[in-house]
Amino acid sequence: MTLNEISKVLEINCKSNIEITGLNTLLDSNSNELTFLENKKYIKDLVNTKAAAVLIKKEFLAEVPKGTIALICDEPYIKLALASKLFSQNVVEESGKDCVVDKDTTIQPNVYLGKNASIGSNCIIMAGAFIADNVSIGNNTIIYPNVSIYRDCIIGNDCIIHSGTVIGCDGFGFANTKDGKYIKIYQNGNVIIGNDVEIGANSTIDRAVFKSTIISNGVRIDNLVHIAHNCKLGVGCILTGQVGLAGSTTLHEYVVMGGQSATAGHLEIAPFTTIAARGGVTKTIKEPKKQWAGFPLMDHKTWLKLQSKITKLLK
């Protein structure tokens, strides 16, 4: 769409006819994408944006770089939510090529195969699986019964995905108006899963708002794990039962998270970190190869000493 067409929908005055191909973050945007700034803590990202245009409040107008068009509005986040619908994909494609299935792959009965999808060689797709449009599955991968893989997602080679898991559903994204109404932010990205990844039963990996939620090679995910939109898991991470990652969490390589541990959003965890069961991560962890526990989070040895002292007090 042209920026002029988008602006009319958003009720913003703009005459530029530059073509806009999608939405993106301030730092990741290119010269054909629309971005936004709601929170002033991201001003430094605004200065470095390459976006064609930015939804922005008037107070930040002076910080908009040359070459980026400012779309001034009172509620940029609300406008972004409305714009996201303009770029949303069809729920189901009515046209396209039938799914391509490579040699020696077994497709059991009652499997749905979407348009323009592809499945590699030596795979097993069990009964009740849903493989949506434009999904790509590599070689030697096993999809157990009733797994749902939403459109545009990519699964690598040698993966195992257990029953009931959902990959690529919408992340929890809503912008609320001043009167409390929730406006859906359409999740227009996808999920990319690397090679040699195993995902337990009834886990959920949300698709990204922009770009991709990424699960790197060698990751192991237990049952009942939730990974929110735009998360990135490095090589060899382990997530055990009932772990929850909030949106845009980045785990670097070989992070281990114990049962029912969780993170707040927009933070990073250093390589080879261990989070004990029920640990709550609320801030970025920069130092690698350490063990943490508790809520609020503390060094694991300190947490053990604290539990000992509490036990003695009770006695």
Adjacent-strand bridge partners of 257: 239, 275
Rounded-to-integer distance, Cα 32 and Cα 274, Å: 41
One-letter amino acid at 149 equals I
Taking every pair of Cα atoms in the chain, the longest distance, rounded to a whole number of angstroms, is: 75
Active centre residues (catalytic): 229
Q: Is 197 left (phi over 0), alpha (psi -120 to 50) or beta?
A: beta
296 preceded by a cis bond (ω within 30 of 0):
yes
Rounded-to-integer distance, Cα 70 and Cα 56, Å: 7
The tokens of 138 are what? 């590599």
Residues 178/78, Cβ–Cβ less than 8 Å: no
Adjacent-strand bridge partners of 251: 233, 269
Provide the 10 A C-beta neighbour count for residue 36.
Answer: 26
Helices 3-10 and 76-86 pack at an angle, to 10 degrees, of: 120
Task: Report in angstroms the alpha-carbon separations of 234 from 123, 173, 273, 292.
Answer: 25, 24, 12, 19
